[in-house]
Structure 1
Amino acid sequence: MNEIISYFSTIPSSHRSLILVGGITVFWLIENTFPLFQMHYQKWQHAGINIFFTITTIIVNFILAFILIKTADWTTKNHFGILQWVPEIPMWLYTLTGLLLLDLIGAYLAHFVQHKTKFLWRFHLIHHTDTWIDTTSANRHHPGESIIRFLFTTLGVLIVGSPMWMVFLYQSLSVIASQFNHANISLPNKLDTFLSYFIVSPNMHKVHHHYVLPYTDSNYGNIFSVWDRLFGTFTTLPKEELIYGVDTHMLPEENNKLKNLLKIPFQKSRSAKKTKNQ
C-alpha cells in the first residue's frame, strides 16, 4: 500500500498520459479481436472525433489542475472532509472508502445531475449521440462538460477530504474503468454479471447508451456499481436489444460531424421519448 501511495504522490504527467493512451490501445486491440457487435463503421474517422474530445478534456483538466491541487492541499492541511474526520483505520480501508466516495460525487452524482438538469444535459448529450460505442467513446465529452465534471471532482475532493495521491489514483482508475466499460468487447454473460456486482461492467454500461428512456437514465456509475444498486438506478437489457445513440439525434449529420457536435449545447433542445412498455 505504501508503494502505491508513494507512486501516485509523485506520478509524472507522462505516466498519466501513458495510462490514458495505453488503456485505449489495449482495449482497442481486444475489441477488434473479441467484439461484442460487428459494427460496420469508419473506425478511424469515429476515433478521430472522440480523440479530439479526449484532447480537449486533457487541456481543460490541465488548465484547471491547480484548483484541484489547492483543494486537496487545503483539506489535508485544515483537516477538513470525511476522511479527515474518521477514526484511524487500516490504509487499505481508508483508500477504498475514499475511492468509493470520490466515485459517488465525481462520477455518479455528476452524471445523475447532468441527466436531470436541462442546461447540463445539453453538454452531456454529445456523449450520448455516439451510435458506435467503443473504447474511444469513453472520453467523448464536450469541453463544457469537461468543465462541469471537473467541478464535481473538485467538490468530491473537498467533501471527502482526499489527499492528492488519492485523487491521482482515482483519476487513473476512472480512466481505465471508463475505457473498459465502453469498449466493444464480448465477455461471457456470467462473468459480466458477476463483475457488475462490484464494478461497472461493459454490458451494464451499454444499457445506459440505449437510445431511448428510461434506459438512458440508468446505470450512471463509472468505477463502482454499488451506487446504482443502492439508489435504484440499476437496469438490465439484453445486449441483443441495444441500439446506441439518443433518439433526438439519430441522423449521421448530427451525431457524426464534429462541427455540429460542438454546436449542440447551443441549439434548440429536443424532447426525448420514453418507451411505451416502461
Structure 2
Amino acid sequence: MDVFMQFWENIAPWQRMAILMGGMILFWLIEGYYPLFRFSWKRYKHAGVNLVFLFTTVVLNIVLGSITIIACKWVTDHEFGLLNLFDLPLWANIILSLLFMDFFAQYAPHYMMHKVKFMWKFHMIHHSDTKVDVTTGTRHHPGEWIFRECFTIIGVYMIGLSIGMYFLYRSMSAIFTHFNHANIRVPLWLDKPISWIFVSPNMHKVHHHYKRPYTDTNYANIFSLWDRLFGTFAYTDPKQLHYGLDVLEDSTDESLSYQLKLPFNKNIKTDY
C-alpha cells in the first residue's frame, strides 16, 4: 500500500492526463458497441463542443489545482484535519478520503448548484446536453469549476487530505465521471447492485432527466451513500428518460457561444 501511495504522491502530469483521456477513450469505444440510446446525431461534432469545455477545465485546474496542492501540503505539514486526529491504517485512510472528498468536492457543491439560482445558471450547461455520453462528463462552464474547486479546498482542510490522496481522488473521480455519463447499456441485474454502494450509469442518468423531480436527485459521483443518506437517491428505467432541460430549446445544446453566455442570459427563466 505504501508503494501504491508513493505513486500518487509523485504522479507526473502526463500520467494524470493519460488517466483522464484514457478513461474517456475507453468508454467512447464501448459506447459504439453497447449504446444505451442510438441517437440520430453527429457524434464527433457533439464531442467537439464538450471537449472545448474540457479544455477550459484543464486550464482552470492547472491554476486552481496548484492552490489546492498548496493546501494539501499545509494540512500535511501541520497534521491538520479530521483524518490526522486518528492513527488509521492506510487502507482506511484511502477509503475515508475518497468517501469524504466525494461529499465535499462533489455532493455538496452539486447540491448547492441546484438550489442557488446564480450557481444553477452556470450548472445548466452541463444539463443542457440532450445526448448524454462520456463527453458530457467534461461539459462544465468555467464558472462552475471555480465553485467546485472552492468546495474541494474546504474538503482538503476539513479532512486533512495529502497530495497523494488528492491526486488519487481526482483520478477516481474522473473515471467514475466517464463511467456514469457513458452512453452504455448496463443490464438492471448488474446496475442495481452497483448502485447499492457506488453511483452507477443508470442511476446517474436519472439526474439528467429534463425536468424535476428527477433533475434534483443523485448528486454524488462515486458513492451512492450520500444520496441515500440525505434522501436524494432516485432510480428508474433509463429508457424512460429524456435528456436536456425543459426551459431550454434542445437545438441550442451544441451552440458553443449560446452555452458560454447562458449564465448571463436574462431571458432564460428558472424556478431555482
Please say whether Structure 1 and Structure 2 have the same fold, judged by a TM-score greater than 0.5.
yes
- CA distance in 1 between counterparts of 2:125 and 2:21 reads 22
CA RMSD of aligned residues (A): 1.1
1:65 shift after superposition: 2.2
Q: How high is the TM-score relative to the length of structure 1? A: 0.95
Is this contact kept in 2: 1:76–1:163, CA < 8 A? yes
Map Cα deviations across residues 68-123 of structure 1 (whole Å, 9 max, x no partner).
Answer: 111011111122111111x2121101110111001111000010011110011011
- CA distance in 2 between counterparts of 1:76 and 1:200 reads 30
- CA distance in 2 between counterparts of 1:169 and 1:205 reads 22
Q: Pick the aligned partner of 1:261 from 256, 259, 262.
A: 259
1:243 aligns with 2:242: yes
Match of 2:20 in 1: 20
AA paired with 1:11? I
- CA distance in 1 between counterparts of 2:129 and 2:45 reads 13
1:225 shift after superposition: 0.7
1:129-148 superposed matches below 5 A: 129-148=128-147
Map Cα deviations across residues 147-190 of structure 1 (whole Å, 9 max, x no partner).
Answer: 11111111111111110100000000000000000000011111
Q: How high is the TM-score relative to the length of structure 2? A: 0.97
- CA distance in 2 between counterparts of 1:183 and 1:66 reads 29
How many percent of aligned residue pairs carry the same amino acid?
A: 45
1:60-99 superposed matches below 5 A: 60-85=60-85, 87-99=86-98
1:187 aligns with 2:186: yes
Q: Which runs of 5+ in 1 are unaligned?
A: 274-278
Q: Which runs of 5+ in 2 are unaligned?
A: none
1:272 shift after superposition: 5.0
- CA distance in 2 between counterparts of 1:250 and 1:31 reads 26
Match of 2:45 in 1: 45
- CA distance in 2 between counterparts of 1:13 and 1:214 reads 40
1:114 aligns with 2:120: no
- CA distance in 2 between counterparts of 1:227 and 1:65 reads 25
AA paired with 1:267? N
AA paired with 1:108? Y
- CA distance in 2 between counterparts of 1:158 and 1:248 reads 38
- CA distance in 1 between counterparts of 2:66 and 2:191 reads 38
> After TM superposition, which residue ranges in structure 1, 4 or more long, deviate above 6 angstroms?
none
